[in-house]
Homo-oligomer: A and B are copies of this chain.
Amino acid sequence: MTTREEQKNQTRSKILKCAFEVFSKNGFAAPTLDIAKAAGVSHGTIFVHFSTKEDLIIQLVRNFSFKLRSTIIVPLSSPKGIENFLINYMDVIQKNEQFYIRLIGEKDLLPDEARLMFLNLQLSNARSFATIVKLQRNSMKLKNIPSTMMFNTWIGLVHYYLLNKDLFSPKGSVIKKYRDELISTYLELIRVQD
């Protein structure tokens, strides 16, 4: 890679990084000029690397999905498979809580392609979860509920807390504050009591 190309990549990365931060903080309606300022590049430079604001968002969501996908561990045959999955899931989200909140909260502002990618990520997670649940049914008596529903209940609960962060945890991370309570509640719910 030539020096020129390297520098180009660096600029591009810088923009992506700063866009991530600006959008996390101010939402996807934040002006592209703010991103340029944050990245220390000119306004026009953004459009050298990304044809439109939509394109920038798409790349951002693509990277984000990829990162999440590669971070979410699916502990297939563990006896505590579900719990481990949930713990890991929470940790992953917590690391990019603000951006994740924007993603689920401003879904309708996203370009179609970005929305689809994020959707696919969730579907993929749902499938992973379903697999784990299936395996876990052996070692743990679970409520007789379709695994889709099981996942949706979980993700619904988590998203509810995330979207109402200002209510539940205005200052710090919601996930950090409620992680354990959410997990234990959920596990309690899906378990058949003896």
Majority secondary structure, A binding face: helix
Pick the most buried of A146, A157, A192: most chain B CB atoms within 10 A of its CB: A157
What does the 1/0 interface line of A115-143 toward B look like (CB < 8 Å)?
Answer: 00001000000000000000000000001
Cβ contact within 8 Å between A185 and B119: no
One digit per residue, 1 when the CB lies within 8 angstroms of any chain B CB and 0 when it does not, for chain A 133-165 equals 000000000011110010011011111110100
Given A152-B157, A156-B160, A159-B159, answer yes or no on A145-B105 (Cβ-Cβ < 8 Å).
no
Closest 8 CB pairs of A and B: A156-B160, A156-B156, A156-B157, A189-B189, A149-B185, A192-B193, A153-B157, A145-B185
Beyond the given pairs A152-B160, A152-B161, 14 more chain A to chain B contacts, judged by CB atoms under 8 angstroms and listed by A's residue number, are A105-B107, A106-B108, A107-B163, A143-B188, A143-B189, A144-B188, A145-B185, A145-B188, A146-B185, A149-B181, A153-B157, A156-B161, A157-B157, A192-B193
Chain B residues contacting A192 (CB-CB under 8 Å) are 193
Question: Any chain B CB within 8 A of the CB of A104?
Answer: yes
Shortest CB distance A20–B (Å) = 18
A141 to B29, CA, bound (A): 48
**B108–A27 touching, CB < 8 Å:** yes
Per-residue contact bits, chain A 162-190, to B (CB 8 Å; 1 contact, 0 not)? 01000100000000000001000110111
Inter-chain contact B189/A145, CB cutoff 8 Å = yes
Residue of B nearest to A186 (CB): B153
